[in-house]
Structures are given as C-alpha cells and as structure tokens.
Amino acid sequence: MKKIGIVGATGMIGKPVTHAFIEAGWDVTILVRDSKKGQSFFGNKVRYIVGDVVDTASLKNFLAGVKYLYLNLSVAQKSYKNDFQPEREGLQNILAVAKELGVCKIGYLSSLAHFYQGQNGFNWWMFNLKQNAVKSIKASGIPYIIFYASTFMESFDKGAYRRVSLLHYRVCQNIKCFLLLPMIMAGRWLKHLSLKMATWNLLYREKKDSLLMKQRTTIRNIANTINR
C-alpha cells in the first residue's frame, strides 16, 4: 500500500482530495494542528500527526516512512507579506525535511491566477509568493506534479465562488448570453452542487520534464495523477 502525507487535509479543497486518496486505497497520514477537527472529517481512516509547518520536528515525525506528499497550502486572508507564510517559510521547512527523509514525489496545488503576476505592470506580493513556491519545488530535486487550478466544480457553490457564480449568472442573463455547460463528472461529486451556474473547470498540470498540459479535471484527478 502506497503511503502519502497530506498537508492541508482539512481545508475546503484538502478534504475531498484526502477522501479521494482514502477511497483509492492509499495509506494516508495528515498533518493537523487539531486532531479532533481532523477526526470529525476522516474518523479512523487516516493517521493523524499533530504539528505545524513552522515546526521541523513535527514535520520529521509526519514524513517518517512517507514516500508521497501532497501539499494544499494557502495564504491566510488577514495575513501580511512579512508574516510567516506556509507557502514560503513553511514550504522551505517541508522541502528540507522531505529531502532528508527521502520523499519520492510531491504533488502541489498552486493557482492559475498567479500567472497574472508581471502582466501589464501588475505586481502583488501574494502572487509573487506563489510563483516562488513553484520555483522552490522545481529546484528541490524531488520529482513533482504541480496543479494550476482555476476553480474546482466540487467547491463552486461555496464561499467566494458562490458569490462570483451568482454575479456571472446575472450578468449573463442581462446580456442574453449562454452559460458554458458543466463538464461530465462522477455523479457523487456533483450531488452538492447548484446546477444554476455551470462552468468549465480548467486545470493546468505540469509534470517534471514534460510539456504543460491543459485538461478538464475533478478532485479525483489529483489522486490519480500523483499515482502515475
């Protein structure tokens, strides 16, 4: 059984990704700050290591025996440029421990939006942080898969996505345009979605030593792709 460690398993995207690995038969270990929160999502289906990306000792405990690593890191909305950032200082800690303990592949969820950095003079520290995170992973020497996601259909009816989708829906109504059809996905992932708003879900997937590829995707594709 393949062993994978997941950072960010209890987040909005991290939860369905973790469930996908569980359903695919992986031996899953997750890094959590609050084990009770993790257990409320995954029960006894995963191994819990209490720790934080700021603490290298807990990272060593977390990655002991792990050969695959999936990172679902983010920038807290109320944080500032000079604060400790999981995708900057935290990522450096993770990569150092991963190299030391022999992790053989990293999957990392980035964002398609950070490619706006530098276009027409646009400059935002958060996008610069995400670009540097990608560079760090590429320079680590560890084989990697980087996912450049725009949106996920599984989360399109939640949070800011929901507000934006309703806005797009109204705009489209006003200018009498047609919405894009939803992509065909596994039925269980669509149960909780509102079908009033549909969109193409695009994801750029970059594999080391290969060309950049574009495809429609679901959360499950992450688990399937890392398995290759």
Distance CA 193, CA 138 (A): 35
The predicted pLDDT at position 152 comes to 61
- 181-196 confidence digits (pLDDT tens): 333 333 333 333 333 2
- CATH assignment of 3-152+201-226, given 3.40.50.720, 3.50.50.60, 3.30.300.20, 3.40.50.360? 3.40.50.720
- 48-107 confidence digits (pLDDT tens): 999 999 999 999 999 999 999 999 998 887 889 999 999 999 999 999 999 999 999 999
- 130-178 confidence digits (pLDDT tens): 999 999 999 999 999 998 877 665 555 555 444 444 434 333 343 333 3
- Tokens coding 190: 């669509």
CA-wise closest residue to 94 among 48, 126, 140: 140
The predicted pLDDT at position 1 comes to 78
Phi and psi based region of residue 120 (left: phi greater than 0; alpha: psi -120 to 50; beta: remaining): left
Q: Find the mean pLDDT for residues 215-225.
A: 55
The predicted pLDDT at position 106 comes to 95
Q: How confident is the model at residue 115 (pLDDT cuts 50, 70, 90)?
A: confident
Q: How confident is the model at residue 222 (pLDDT cuts 50, 70, 90)?
A: low
Q: Find the mean pLDDT for residues 7-33.
A: 93
Distance CA 44, CA 47 (A): 7
Query: Does residue 111 have a pLDDT over 70?
Result: yes
Q: Find the mean pLDDT for residues 196-201.
A: 30
- What stretches of 43-196 show up as alpha helix (H) in DSSP? 56-63, 91-101, 125-139, 159-174, 187-190
Query: Does residue 108 have a pLDDT over 50?
Result: yes
pTM for the whole thing? 0.71
Distance CA 30, CA 215 (A): 28
Report the percentage of the chain scoring pLDDT > 70.
65
Asked if 131 contacts 140 with a C-beta cutoff of 8 angstroms, the reply is: no
Query: Does residue 210 have a pLDDT over 80?
Result: no
